[in-house]
Structure 1
Amino acid sequence: MKQLLALLFSTGVLIVAGCSNVYSQEDGYRMAVINQGFPVPKNAYEVKPEDCTDEISKAAKYKLQGIGDQDGNPPAHYLETIEEWGWTELVDERRGTIHFYEKNGKIMSLNIHQDVFDVFEMTSNPES
C-alpha cells in the first residue's frame, strides 16, 4: 500500500512540475490579448497589467518563468517569432529592456524582465 501511495504521489509531482509555466519555444505562441497579431508564448499567463498612459492605449502583463534573464534579455527565438509574425523592430527606439515593434502603422512595445513581461499597444510613436 505504501508503495502504491508513493507511486501516486511521485506521479502527481511530475504532472504538476510538467505543467508549470516555463518558457519553451516548443510550446509555441498565441495571439496577445490586446493585439490579435502580436505573439506571446502559449504557456504565459496573464496578471494585472500596468495602467495605461497617454502613450499607451492597451496593456497586458504576463508571467512566465525563463522569459527573461536577470538583465531582461529575452530568448532569441521569441524575438525571431515576433519578426516572423510580420513585426519590424524599431531598433533605434529601444530603451534598455523595452523593445518597440511596428506593423501596419501599429506600434507595440515589449518590456521583458526576469519571469515577467509586459506588452503595450502604443497610441503614438515611441519618441520621447
Structure 2
Amino acid sequence: MRQILIPILIVAAVIMTGCAYEYTEEDGYRMAVINEGFPVPKNAYEVKPEDCTTEIAKSAKYKLKGIGDEEGTPPSDYLEEIQSWGWTELEDKRVGHVHYFEKKGKIMSLIIQKNVFDVFEMSDDVEL
C-alpha cells in the first residue's frame, strides 16, 4: 500500500504546483478584504499585506499571474470594472503605476506590479 501511496502523492503535488492563479476577465471579481465596495479579481490570492502608516488605514496584497506587466500597467478591463463599481480614477494624482480612486469621499490606492498588486484604503485625513 505504501508503495502505491507515495507515487500518488508525488503526482498530486506536481499537479497542484502546476495550477497557478492567473488573471482572466472571465473569472470575474469579488470585494476586496479591506473595502467591500472595491473590486479585486476573483482568483487573486491574498498574501501578507504591507504595514499601515498614518496615510494608509488598511492594506491588502494579492498575487495574481498576469495582472500587470513590467511597467505595472493594469489590464484595462480591470480599470473599467473598478469604475463600474462606482469608483472614479483621480488621473491627475496618478504617479507611475500607482492609481488613486475616489468614491463617496473614500480614497483607494491601487499599485500594480508584475504578478502582484496592492490595494490601500487611505486614511480619511490624507491629502493627495
Q: Same fold (TM over 0.5)?
A: yes
Q: What are the equivalent positions in structure 2 for 1:33-72 lying under 5 Å apart?
A: 33-72=33-72
SS in 1 for 2:118: strand
TM-score (norm: length of structure 1): 0.84
- CA separation in 2, counterparts of 1:20 and 1:49? 20
Aligned residue identity for 1:63 = K
SS in 1 for 2:65: coil
SS in 1 for 2:112: strand
- Does the aligned pair in 2 maintain the 1:93–1:126 contact within 8 Å? no
Q: What are the equivalent positions in structure 2 for 1:1-128 lying under 5 Å apart?
A: 13=15, 17=18, 19-123=19-123, 124-127=125-128
- CA separation in 1, counterparts of 2:102 and 2:119? 13
- CA separation in 1, counterparts of 2:60 and 2:127? 17
Distance 1:67 1:126, change over 3 A: farther
SS in 2 for 1:36: coil
- Between the aligned residues of both structures, percent identity stands at 64
Aligned residues: 116
Q: Runs of 4 or more off by more than 4 Å in structure 1?
A: none
SS in 2 for 1:61: strand
SS in 2 for 1:58: strand
Residue 81 of structure 1: how far off its partner (Å): 0.2
Aligned residue identity for 1:100 = Y
SS in 1 for 2:120: strand
Instruction: Kindly provide the CA deviation profile for residues 61-97 of structure 1, in whole angstroms up to 9, marking residues without a partner as x.
Output: 0000000001100000000000000000000100110
Distance 1:126 1:28, change over 3 A: farther
Unaligned segments of structure 2, at least 5 residues: 1-10
Residue 20 of structure 1: how far off its partner (Å): 2.1
